[in-house]
Structure formats: C-alpha cells, structure tokens
A and B are shown apart, each in its own frame.
Chain A
Amino acid sequence: MSQVLPGPHGAPVTGHVPVLRLGEILLVTLQGDLHDSTAQQLQEDLAETIVRSGATGVVIDVSGVEIVDSFLGRILAEIAGQTGLLAARTVLVGMRPAVAITLVELGLTLPGVHTALSTEVAMELLRQQAPSSRFGGLRQESQ
C-alpha cells in the first residue's frame, strides 16, 4: 500500500522530521516552514520513540524556524506535556527573538517547557538535572 494519505488540509503528508538519538537524549531539528501535518506526525513519532528508547530528554532545535503560528505553538506545548508524562523532559533551543515575541503575544508562554540558548547548554541542562535513569533516585553507592 503505497498510497499517499491526505493531511488535515488536503495536502499530502509531506514527511517526517528526523529524530536523532544521542544516548538518552533525542534531538529534533526543525527547519523553515513546518507543515501542520508534519508537526502532528512529529508529535506521534516523538511519543513512540521515547517509549521505545527510554530517552530521558528531548531537545528541539527551533533556531531554523522563522514563523510560528498558534498551531505549532500548541503542538510544542503538547509535545512537552506528553514527554513529561513519559518521564522525560523537553528543552526548546535557539528560539529567535521575533518568534518568542509572537508566541508571547499569542499568549503561548509554554509554561512546562525548558528552554536554552544553544544545544550545548540544553544537553548540559538535561545531564545536570535528569534523574540518573528512568528508575530515578535508585543510585548505587560505590564504596
């Protein structure tokens, strides 16, 4: 079945955003205009990947995104919410000033989302504050 399914707005599904795995962290880079259906696909992909891989953190690089509408803003907030439910944390990286102002004006302040200026800082943030494993708290004391 190589049938192309139409997206929510009648346009064909344009594809997946690649989700890279770096140890316990998943890295997603968003580029340019993101189609609504692609964003929804990403949301599903991320949930599945987290469950499958046991990742503890998701880094979403939005430095290549110039325009954010309310839909993408909501998707980002939902991704953060579902990631939290799966015991992982979301860090948004490199948001442009214009995009930040737009989101604030739209009233989307993304309260549950962590943010960082660069991917490096985001990785550091996740390493510092993440529980050592998914069974958080149970650490083996080495003598």
Chain B
Amino acid sequence: MPEHAEGTAAEPTREVRDLLRRRREQIAQRWADEPLFRAVFTVSRDEAVEAGKTVVDALAQVADAARVEDPDAAGFSTVREQLARMGVARSRSGLSTAQVSSELAALRPPVENLLVADLPEDAPAEHVRDCVTTLSVLMGTLRVVVMQTALSEGQALIDRQRLQLLEVATPVIKLWDGIVAVPLIGTLDSARSQVVMETLLESIVEQQARYAILDITGVPTVDSLVAQHLMKTVAAARLMGAECIVSGIRPAIAQTMVHLGLDLGTVVTRASLADALGYVLHQLGVGIVTPGTNGAGAR
C-alpha cells in the first residue's frame, strides 16, 4: 500500500485521519445506506453522499488537530448545523434520544471495517487496537456533538413556545363600557401572572375601566401561590381605582381553597362570569330588560 509510506508506526490518530481522507468516497457511500442518512435525505441518494462527505471531512479535520475527544473542536463547527438538522429531523419523526443515538452508533462499523482492512496484515495487534479505539472515540465525540446540538435546538424551541404561550394566553376583553375581563387559562406561575397583571392594568388605564373581572374557569388548580398572585393583581387594580371580581370558581376549587385555608379577603367572588357581569352591571346601575315586555317585567 503506497499510502503507508510513513511507516506502520504512525500514531493511531494520524492513521484514522489518513483513512478518513483516503476512503472519503467509500465511507460516504456506505453511510448513505445507513438508516440515519436514508431517513433524513429522502429525496436523493447523492445528497446523502454529499452530506456524508462533509461529515467525513469534518472528522478528518478534527483528527488532524488531534482533538478526537473534544466535542468543541473547530472541525465540528462546519457541520454542526447540518448535524443538528439531522438530529432534529430524526427526533421529530418520533425517535427517542436513545434511538437517534444508536442510529449514530451504526455509522461506526462501516468505517471500522475499512480501517481494519486497510491496516497491513502484519501490523502489531496493539496498533490495530489503538487505531480502532481512536476511531471509536472519534465517533463517540460525533455522537456527543449531534446530541448536544439537538438538545440545544430543543431548548430553543421550548423557549420560543413559552414566549408564544405568554402572548397567547392573556387577552383582555372589554365586556361593557368600563368593564374589562381576563379569562385566565392554564397554570398561573409567577411569569404568567406578571404578564396578566401588566396587561390588565394597562387596559384598565386604556379603557378607563372601573371594574375588572378575573375569570379563573380555565385554571386547573388553585394553590396558595396562585391565590397570592390573584390577590396581588386585585390589590394593584384597586390601587389604580378599579374593583376586581374573581369569577369562575368551580365547586372543587372552592372546596380546595377552603381546605387550604386560602383567604381571598375582601375580594368579591362569583361562581360564573355571567354572575360577575350581572353584579358589575348592577353596581354601575345598568339594568338588563327582556325584550317584548316593554320593560314592565318582574324586574
């Protein structure tokens, strides 16, 4: 083998690097047949081969820098985005992290076979073992890189969705002149109740609303923390000159609150949003008359 002009005593890392450079085409071809590449690059096999080549190049670069154990090696930076895309694509199609990881592990044997085949037959067993180990470490690092990028992608997705949820979940509705309502939906944590409080107070100023109804029909559970958030919102609205009514207290929640000894103090509470609206209209001196009775009904 002419490539082995440097002699069999080459360092395992260099050996692996040379293999990756020499067998670039074959490795990429074999990888293209592996489930990971087949599943990600469904359109054409050539695309998969091209992607495989970039990964092989990156691995060779990492080996060249003798940083096979370092997931932050400069060589990975060129393929990081592509690897992340592959990882995310596999997770999206419903694979667990362990499954993606084992698909990545399946990329190792083809390279390993080529490596062993390329080593001279009279190479000392120790050297063969060292080369194989180095390759394993390198492929392991590749796995770490993919997992890392896929995880941070997932984290970014979660962060985006959390922000979207904050925006979506806090509409302030004008029910009547001077009456606004906030239908609270989902668990009230500190961040969300802060957003609710701010949007509610802003709209109180905007609409010159003297009454604000907080409807907690969509809040699954009320514990002391949620109650505290509600009390804070009510107190802040009161300081601005608006009265708050808490409505939508389901029977189970009413029981829980009594069991927990939660005291909403002087806050006006009603069972349903309709009751709350009725109470507020009464306070404002607005009456509702059923049509057809010419206003001469029982009211």
Contacts and interface: CB of A to CB of B under 8 A. Distances in A.
Contacts of A47: none
A117 B202 contact: no
A105 B237 CA distance: 13
A116 interface: yes
A31 interface: no
B239 A95 contact: yes
Given A97-B201, A117-B210, A121-B210, A104 B240 contact: no
Contacts of A93: 241
Interface string A92-132: 11111101110111000110000111100110000000000
B236 A118 contact: no
B214 interface: no
A93 B242 CA distance: 11
Nearest to A101: B236
A106 to B, nearest CB: 11
Given A97-B198, A101-B198, A109 B238 contact: yes
A41 to B, nearest CB: 24
Given A100-B201, A117-B210, A118-B208, A94 B241 contact: yes
B271 interface: no
A100 B236 contact: yes
Contacts, number: 57
A95 B205 CA distance: 9
A139 B204 CA distance: 37
A4 B243 CA distance: 44
B40 to A, nearest CB: 49
Contacts of A109: 235, 238-239
B197 A95 contact: no
Interface string B241-271: 1100000000000000000000000000000
A110 B208 contact: no
Interface residues of A, number: 20
Given A101-B197, A101-B198, A121-B210, A115 B204 contact: no
Given A100-B237, A100-B239, A104-B235, A117 B205 contact: yes
Contacts of A105: 232
B179 to A, nearest CB: 13
Interface in B188-220: 197-198, 201-202, 204-205, 208-210
A95 B202 CA distance: 11
A58 to B, nearest CB: 15
Nearest to A120: B208
Contacts of B240: 94-97, 100, 115, 117
Contacts of A104: 232, 235-236, 239
B239 A110 contact: yes
A92 B236 contact: no
Interface in A49-79: none
A111 B269 CA distance: 18
B235 A117 contact: no
Given A95-B240, A100-B237, 20 more contacts: A92-B239, A95-B241, A96-B240, A97-B198, A97-B202, A97-B205, A100-B236, A100-B240, A104-B239, A110-B239, A115-B238, A115-B239, A115-B240, A117-B204, A117-B208, A117-B209, A117-B210, A117-B241, A121-B241, A122-B241
Interface of A: 92-97, 99-101, 103-105, 109-110, 115-118, 121-122
26 contacts: A92-B239, A92-B241, A93-B241, A94-B241, A95-B239, A95-B240, A95-B241, A96-B205, A97-B205, A97-B240, A100-B201, A100-B237, A100-B240, A101-B197, A103-B239, A104-B235, A104-B236, A105-B232, A115-B239, A115-B242, A116-B241, A117-B205, A117-B208, A117-B209, A117-B240, A117-B241
Interface of B: 197-198, 201-202, 204-205, 208-210, 232, 235-242
